[in-house]
Amino acid sequence: MKNIKSIKKSYHSIFMVTFIVLANTLFVNAQSKTSLVDHFTDKGYSNAVGTTQHPAGEYYKGVTYVAYQGPLEDPYVAAYDHATKKWIGPFKAGVSLLGKNPDKKNDNHGKPALIIDDEGYIHVVFGGHGGLDSHGENTLGNTHLGKMIHVVSKKPLDISSWEVLENIPPFGTYNQLVKMDNGDIYLFYRHGAHRSNWVYQKSTDNARSFDAPVSVLKTKRRSDNLAVDAWYGWFEKAANNKIIAGYNYHHCKDEDDNHDGERHNGYYMVMDTKNHKWYNVQGKKLTVPVTKEHADKMTLVVDTGDSWTVRGTAALDKNGNPHVTYTVGEHLGLIHGGPKQIQHFRWTGKNWTDGVCANLPVATGDMDLSVSGKISLLLASKTKDKKGEISWYHSKDDGVSFQKGTTLLRRKKMGFTISSMIRNAHPDAQAIVMGKVGNSDYGKMYLLGDNGPVQREKSEANQLTAAEKAQPKKSKKSK
Ligand code: ZN
């Protein structure tokens, strides 16, 4: 009996060992065949990237650094080394005041913007949606939620540890960083909630300190006393020490309940950073902060009438002429208006084109004018059969018509949001995209370039826990 038992036992052991070895071999084989995935993390959270808070990424000395909104609306940073094809991170770069109340809807205004200073330190600004009354008096506007926070990497080009720099006001929303060729860094933002001036602060010491805010777009009560003039702006470095701005107008009504996002028109202006004066497209000097009346007279790109707009982005072409985009659509009785088609406007040297460009979809995105004679838009849109996609659209006739180019990413039933173009982008890594599917606040983050997504080992990229996967969507909750 004993012998038979021990023989049985040893057979059993041999069988088990063989099974484990075989299973491991199969597993390893399967893994090595399918181990690369298109996303670099599956822990993007809610509205993880957008075009407003920018740049969200920068290519610097062989590495692309990317920032996005992660769990609890905190800012996360990851890095991709193009030579070794290795991903680093993501690491949490700071803690936002937003996103911490489990009973409230996601806020999504505090997405991170990232810039690398001349000493290689990485700066991230995030977390703002106007600041709180408890932060004190906002002399340039009103307050709402969150706190604009500035963090910097503890060591140059090392995203693993961060510290807070207490050198910016808490009241900002729509943080945007602009770095000039001489190393000066400008932080642009709306100084509070809707009814706040848009401002910039300049730093000449690698963002260790900033000059006081300077207002560039003015909020004020309208003469009809029914609403307040407010703005949405987008600011970017351009050639010859210029900072260009594309913006649109928010008719900010007094009702707090169901406050709608009525926005119209498109505007453009430019600052010469040598003298900090602002000019319109014809080179006429502007009075800043620019009021609605002054903007209508001096900086108007398009009067959209009853149609609603969202500001897009801006760039200068090789001849120094500005191009701006806005998305335009009908109101349709919806709180933020109906679907908006992207429209491209170009200054011909004499006038703005009419923005009526054939073949452009309902989309968001940014543009690339680096190839002479070609206008390229990188857009996140949805196909008629409900596939989300990120595609190039090119124009070779100065924006009269666009042809769809390469599709960098396409997914069935997935909705995409896209960042502005990555600063100094490597061709393989030009924009950061979030893709969401189903009923979850979590989504996959992609880094996209000419070769499609920059891939990552599945075991590294899949970071979401089962508990996180099961979390109900917060966007269904009350605001
Ligand atoms: Zn408003």
**Secondary structure E strands in 383-475:** 387-395, 403-412, 415-418, 431-436, 442-449, 452-453, 456-457
For the cut 90, the answer to whether the pLDDT of residue 425 exceeds it is yes
Residues whose CB falls within 8 Å of the CB of residue 471, separated by 6 or more in sequence, listed in order = 440, 441, 442
For the cut 70, the answer to whether the pLDDT of residue 419 exceeds it is yes
Out of 39, 54, 109, 344, the active site residue is 109
Active site residue 323: no
Which of the four pLDDT bands, split at 50, 70 and 90, describes residue 470? confident
d(CA 391, CA 433) in angstroms, rounded, equals: 12
Tell me the CA–centroid distance for residue 230 and ligand 1, in Å: 7
pLDDT digits (tens, 9 = 90+) for 365-417: 999 999 999 999 999 999 888 899 999 999 999 999 999 999 999 999 899 99
pLDDT at 477 (0 to 100):
53
d(CA 310, CA 373) in angstroms, rounded, equals: 26
Q: What is the DSSP string of 189-235?
A: EESSSSSS-EEEEEESSTTSS-PPPEEEE--EE-TTSSEEEEEEEEE
d(CA 426, CA 188) in angstroms, rounded, equals: 25
Across the range 331-336, mean pLDDT stands at: 87
Q: Which two tokens stand for residue 224?
A: 């009809």
For the cut 80, the answer to whether the pLDDT of residue 33 exceeds it is no
Tell me the CA–centroid distance for residue 472 and ligand 1, in Å: 29
Q: Which residues pair with 381 in a beta bridge?
A: 363, 389
Instruction: Give residues whose Cβ lies within 5 Å of ion ligand 1.
Output: 194, 252
Tell me the CA–centroid distance for residue 196 and ligand 1, in Å: 10
For the cut 60, the answer to whether the pLDDT of residue 158 exceeds it is yes
Out of 174, 189, 232, 326, the active site residue is 174
pLDDT at 357 (0 to 100):
86
Element (H, E) at 116: strand 113-116
pLDDT digits (tens, 9 = 90+) for 71-104: 999 999 999 999 999 999 999 999 999 999 988 8
